[in-house]
């Protein structure tokens, strides 16, 4: 690591000329300070570094920016421009204001100023030359806010002295971007999260641009690609640790979502009524074109004064933050990990300090909150659009997505509901993730967009939801009238806007065959899933709400295998009391029409939080007070929940599941509590009590636990995290954290064997149970129940019916000896090829 000199970016676009050539003896002679001049090519002045505006001429033609390290930089637009008395100048900042690097400081009408002044040459000087020495980085053309212009070094300090100085000069390191596709939204969110715990200010530089590590958009705007080397600087008391964390985040290996990005200018080909595009999610659909015209809403706002507008903006941002947070939790509850990750990245975008600073600046300058936010997003979006990297350009739709939500919030209303057809094929310029996920799934047959790409977030979601999608189909599609019947063959990359009768009927036949298969599966879903050799496997549903139970019943689930109660109470602002909880659980048991619900006690802490149950911050939340441990830490919460559960009737249909049990003492303690509460309530019956196997110790001690538990349910999400020591939310580890790892399979086997000693059954309620590749392996290891996303029940039951459990057993036992998850997956694919 070496000491970082402050690098000033060019404050204007134009041509750098030596200071000595400026037609003003005071500037040219260096009497005001050392520096350079720029012959401007346009009329915008950007902040050359982050800092505070320490002086602003009333006429708006000059200002001094004090960098955080203390260098005072004077930017004086033109020569003798003071005589214009402000004509042609608009200051975009005020004295005392903090600005981010690259932020617009002054705008001026170059033609007008050129006519009234001696010269447009703009000097950039360090005026406290006693403390800081500037060094020009060269002449020639520079881009405002982008090209490095000067380095500014503290005088009289060696590098090492400066490193040790109390204020702490910036420490510098280089890092290689290892994220596939460069620092796009989710990797940038990872870098932002890495910098967050530290007080140090961390910046990342690349290609003459600079971004705060706290700014997701700024990081994206750097336009990096995989393999690029960036410079990272950190300044502040904990700079060294911050620097190391950010470098590690930049160097984390992640893969770009398949397939590779699409070209920005779609290579769309239109042949008559057939439009070619890029397949974002395969599938066939016949449906009615429905236009989604979703430009950003225009607000009719009259600014109500800066203070009032600040408050409006802050409260709109807070509401949208809450909504997106709920979407993250909701998606996680349903096992939709990719969707949850995408919405987490939206949260990071919303919290981007640059976005907020730009909007706040405009508000300070008299703009209304909506217009200010809209403009701030526009600036960032334009910059992303200008980048070479298609993956980053696709993030514009994410920015627009949050802008739409904030503006809608400011307008005090909801987005207008589009008029959907029975089977709609949505048509839009581009589509944002929340626009798709808020629509009723059953009425969306597919979508087509003029823009976009196969790696956009909405494409990832479409694949996960099984919605056929064609993107980058070109502007021509936007001319198609709504209401016509079209055929979308996304896998073939085609939209047929005027299908001939034969095409329509062939597409309908193919769809009918698929529908028949799914209808057959659906019809059979209410029957038990018996393997070819007659072994019954229970297929239950994971749920998070009463609405999910209805879906579970409709899809033929044999019961509820996991109700995550933390999701049931997510939308409340206080913890429900015992009676309220009883009502919720009772409604779920009643809706199950005779089947059984396994209800898990609150699992907060780690990756899950409830706003009204704040837990103290912890250095290692995943290893801290979570699951049943938080219940022991807040006994009144656990007791109220057990009281609610013990009041459900009939108790035989309500099983209690305990999360994050480590060993038998915890189980015995909860059992004693159940007995005590039941006695107080006068309840003589006891519900079955099960233990989640999520901690490796629980799998190893399964035989002991089974002595006191009625059943065990393996939470593969956590068990994988803890067995492989890989954070389940770490995007950089997503490719390696695989539940089919042989280490996991051995833990499953230990669990089943331990349970068998006491005649207990074992289920799996983690996401692995929903994976077709894992089903034969888990069944082969002796798992008796698979609890999956409700919609998957018919498919998983159909799969079980094709299996021979005997063969599964032989294969699964052999897999325990394989060296890697990949080897297991290859073996599964060879033995049970997926259609
Ligand atoms: C698990 O860990 O696999 C599980 C089902 O629990 P959750 O995902 O809610 O932590
Ligand atoms: Mg878990």
* CA 607 to centroid of ligand 2, rounded, Å: 9
Protein residue closest via CA to atom 1 of ligand 1: 715
CA-based torsion, 777, 781, 786, 787: positive or negative = negative
User: Inter-axis angle of helices 369-385 and 396-410, to 10 degrees?
Assistant: 170
User: Which ligand lies nearest to the CA atom of residue 765 in the structure?
Assistant: 1
DSSP string, 333-358: HTT-HHHHHHHHHHHHHHT-HHHHHH
Mark 131-157 as b/e (b = at least 16 C-beta within 10 Å). ebbbebbeeeebebbbbbbbebbbeee
Q: In whole angstroms, what is the distance from residue 7 CA to residue 150 CA?
A: 6
pLDDT in tens, 420-476: 999 999 999 888 887 888 888 889 999 999 887 776 778 778 877 789 999 888 888
| Mutation choice for ligand 1 from 715, 729, 748, CB with most ligand atoms inside 8 A | 715
pLDDT in tens, 182-198: 887 778 888 888 888 88
pLDDT higher at 61 or 649: 649
pLDDT above 90: residue 682: yes
Instruction: List C-alpha distances in Å: 176 to 97, 191, 232.
Output: 34, 13, 10
Backbone angles phi, psi at 95, to 5 degrees: -60, 140
**262 falls in which pLDDT band (50, 70, 90)?**
very low
Q: In whole angstroms, what is the distance from residue 37 CA to residue 26 CA?
A: 13
DSSP string, 572-596: -SS---HHHHHHHHHHHHHHTTT-E
* CA 583 to centroid of ligand 1, rounded, Å: 24
Q: In whole angstroms, what is the distance from residue 266 CA to residue 260 CA?
A: 14
Which among 251, 208, 210 has a CA at the least distance from the CA of 233?
210
CA-based torsion, 678, 679, 685, 688: positive or negative = positive
Q: Relative to the CA of 715, which ligand 1 atom is closest?
A: 3
pLDDT above 70: residue 130: no
pLDDT average, residue stretch 85-102:
88
| Mutation choice for ligand 1 from 541, 766, 767, CB with most ligand atoms inside 8 A | 766
Q: Is 717 in the pocket of ligand 1 (CB under 6 A)?
A: yes
Tokens of 462: 């479409």
Instruction: List C-alpha distances in Å: 799 to 373, 524, 662.
Output: 50, 12, 33
Q: In whole angstroms, what is the distance from residue 347 CA to residue 193 CA?
A: 11
Q: In whole angstroms, what is the distance from residue 267 CA to residue 275 CA?
A: 11
pLDDT above 60: residue 3: no
Least confident of 235-244, 440-449, 520-529, 608-617: 608-617
Backbone angles phi, psi at 566, to 5 degrees: -65, -30
Please give the model's pTM, rounded to 2 decimal places: 0.58
Percent pLDDT > 70 in the chain is 91
pLDDT higher at 62 or 666: 666
pLDDT in tens, 341-353: 788 888 888 888 8
Q: Is 715 in the pocket of ligand 1 (CB under 6 A)?
A: yes
Please confirm whether the linkage preceding 650 is cis (ω < 30° from 0): yes
Catalytic (active site) residue 758: no
| Mutation choice for ligand 1 from 566, 603, 727, 738, CB with most ligand atoms inside 8 A | 603
Q: In whole angstroms, what is the distance from residue 402 CA to residue 398 CA?
A: 7
Q: Is 694 in the pocket of ligand 1 (CB under 6 A)?
A: yes
Spell out the residues 6+ positions from residue 822 whose beta carbon is closer than 8 angstroms to its own: none
pLDDT in tens, 273-323: 789 988 888 889 999 999 987 666 777 778 888 888 888 898 899 989 988
Looking at every residue in the chain, the average pLDDT score rounds to 86
Q: In whole angstroms, what is the distance from residue 341 CA to residue 320 CA?
A: 17
Catalytic (active site) residue 279: no
What's the pLDDT score for residue 26?
Answer: 64
Residue of 61, 184, 294, 457 marked catalytic: 457
* CA 764 to centroid of ligand 1, rounded, Å: 10
pLDDT in tens, 728-781: 766 567 668 889 999 999 999 999 999 999 999 999 999 899 889 999 999 999
pLDDT average, residue stretch 232-254:
87
Q: Relative to the CA of 566, which ligand 1 atom is closest?
A: 9
Please confirm whether the linkage preceding 363 is cis (ω < 30° from 0): no
DSSP string, 522-554: HHHTTS-EE-TTS-EEEEEEEESSHHHHHHHHH
Say if CB 596 and CB 560 are below 8 A apart.
yes
Protein residue closest via CA to atom 4 of ligand 1: 715
pLDDT higher at 195 or 660: 660
* CA 637 to centroid of ligand 2, rounded, Å: 19
Report the first-to-last Cα separation within the chain, whole angstroms: 53
Q: Is 566 in the pocket of ligand 1 (CB under 6 A)?
A: no
Q: Is 395 in the pocket of ligand 1 (CB under 6 A)?
A: no
């Amino acid at each position: 690591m070496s000491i970082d000199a402050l690098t000033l970016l060019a404050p204007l676009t134009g041509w750098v000329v030596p200071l000595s050539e400026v037609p003003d003896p005071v500037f040219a002679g260096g009497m005001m300070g050392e520096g350079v001049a720029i012959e401007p090519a346009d009329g915008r002045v950007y902040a050359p570094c982050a800092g505070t505006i320490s002086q602003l001429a009333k006429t708006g033609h000059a200002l001094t920016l004090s960098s955080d390290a203390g260098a005072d930089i004077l930017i004086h637009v033109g020569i003798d421009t003071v005589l214009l008395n402000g004509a042609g100048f608009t200051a975009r900042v005020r004295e005392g204001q903090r600005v981010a690097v690259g932020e617009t400081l002054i705008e001026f009408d170059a033609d007008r100023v050129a006519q009234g002044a001696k010269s447009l040459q703009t000097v950039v000087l360090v005026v406290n030359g006693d403390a800081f020495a500037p060094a020009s980085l060269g002449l020639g053309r520079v881009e405002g806010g982008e090209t490095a212009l000067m380095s500014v070094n503290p005088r009289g300090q060696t590098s090492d002295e400066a490193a040790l100085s109390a204020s702490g000069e910036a420490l510098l390191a280089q890092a290689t971007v290892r994220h596939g596709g460069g620092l796009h939204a989710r990797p940038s969110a990872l870098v932002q999260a890495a910098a967050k715990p530290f007080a140090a200010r961390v910046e990342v530089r690349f290609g003459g641009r600079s971004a705060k590590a706290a700014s997701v958009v700024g990081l994206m705007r750097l336009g990096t690609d995989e393999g690029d080397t960036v410079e990272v600087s950190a300044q502040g008391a904990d700079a060294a640790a911050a620097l190391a964390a950010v470098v590690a985040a930049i160097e984390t290996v992640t893969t770009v979502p398949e397939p590779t990005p699409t070209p920005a200018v779609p290579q769309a080909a239109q042949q008559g009524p057939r439009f070619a595009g890029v397949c974002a999610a395969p599938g066939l659909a016949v449906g009615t074109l429905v236009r989604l015209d979703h430009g950003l809403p225009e607000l009719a706002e009259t600014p109500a004064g800066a203070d009032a507008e600040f408050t409006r903006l802050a409260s709109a941002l807070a509401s949208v933050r809450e909504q997106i947070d709920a979407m993250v939790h909701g998606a996680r509850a349903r096992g939709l990990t990719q969707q949850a990750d995408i919405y987490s990245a939206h949260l990071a975008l919303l919290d981007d300090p640059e976005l907020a600073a730009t909007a706040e600046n405009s508000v300070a300058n008299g703009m209304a909150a909506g217009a200010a936010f809209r403009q701030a997003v526009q600036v960032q979006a334009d910059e992303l659009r200008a980048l070479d990297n298609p993956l980053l350009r696709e993030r514009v739709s994410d920015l627009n997505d949050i802008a739409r939500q904030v503006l809608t919030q400011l307008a005090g209303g909801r987005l207008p509901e589009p008029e959907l057809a029975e089977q709609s094929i949505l048509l839009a310029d581009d589509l944002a993730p929340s626009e798709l996920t808020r629509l009723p799934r059953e009425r969306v047959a597919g979508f087509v967009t003029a823009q976009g790409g196969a790696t956009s977030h909405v494409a990832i979601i479409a694949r996960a939801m099984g919605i056929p999608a064609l993107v980058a189909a070109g502007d021509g599609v936007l001319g198609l009238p709504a209401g016509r019947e079209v055929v979308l063959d996304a896998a073939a990359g085609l939209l047929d806007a005027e299908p001939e009768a034969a095409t329509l009927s062939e597409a309908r036949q193919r769809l009918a065959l698929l529908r028949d298969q799914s209808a057959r599966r659906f019809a059979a879903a209410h029957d038990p899933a018996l393997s070819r050799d007659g072994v019954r496997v229970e297929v239950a549903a994971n749920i998070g709400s009463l609405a999910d139970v209805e879906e579970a019943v409709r899809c033929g689930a044999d019961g509820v295998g996991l109700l995550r109660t933390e999701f049931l109470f997510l939308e409340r602002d206080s913890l429900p009391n015992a009676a309220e909880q009883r009502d919720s659980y009772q409604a779920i048991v009643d809706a199950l029409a005779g089947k059984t619900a396994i209800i898990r006690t609150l699992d907060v802490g780690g990756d899950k939080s409830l706003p009204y149950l704040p837990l103290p911050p912890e250095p290692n939340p995943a290893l801290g007070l979570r699951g049943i441990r938080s219940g022991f830490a807040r006994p009144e919460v656990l007791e109220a929940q057990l009281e609610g559960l013990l009041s459900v009737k009939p108790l035989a249909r309500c099983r209690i599941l305990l999360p994050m049990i480590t060993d038998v003492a915890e189980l015995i303690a909860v059992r004693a509590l159940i007995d005590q509460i039941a006695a107080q309530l006068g309840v003589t019956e006891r519900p079955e009590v099960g233990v989640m196997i999520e901690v490796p110790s629980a799998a190893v001690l399964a035989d002991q636990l089974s002595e006191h538990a009625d059943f065990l349910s393996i939470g593969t999400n956590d068990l994988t995290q803890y067995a492989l020591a890989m954070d389940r939310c770490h995007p950089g580890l997503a490719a390696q954290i695989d539940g089919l790892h042989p280490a996991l399979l051995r833990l499953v086997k230990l669990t089943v064997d331990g349970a068998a000693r006491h005649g207990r059954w074992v289920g799996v309620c983690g996401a692995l149970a929903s994976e077709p590749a894992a089903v034969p392996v888990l069944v082969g290891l002796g798992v008796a129940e698979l609890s999956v996303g409700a919609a998957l029940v018919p498919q998983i039951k159909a799969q079980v019916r094709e299996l021979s459990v005997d063969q599964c057993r032989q294969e699964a036992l052999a897999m325990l000896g394989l060296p890697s998850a990949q080897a297991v997956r290859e073996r599964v694919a060879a033995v049970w090829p997926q259609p």
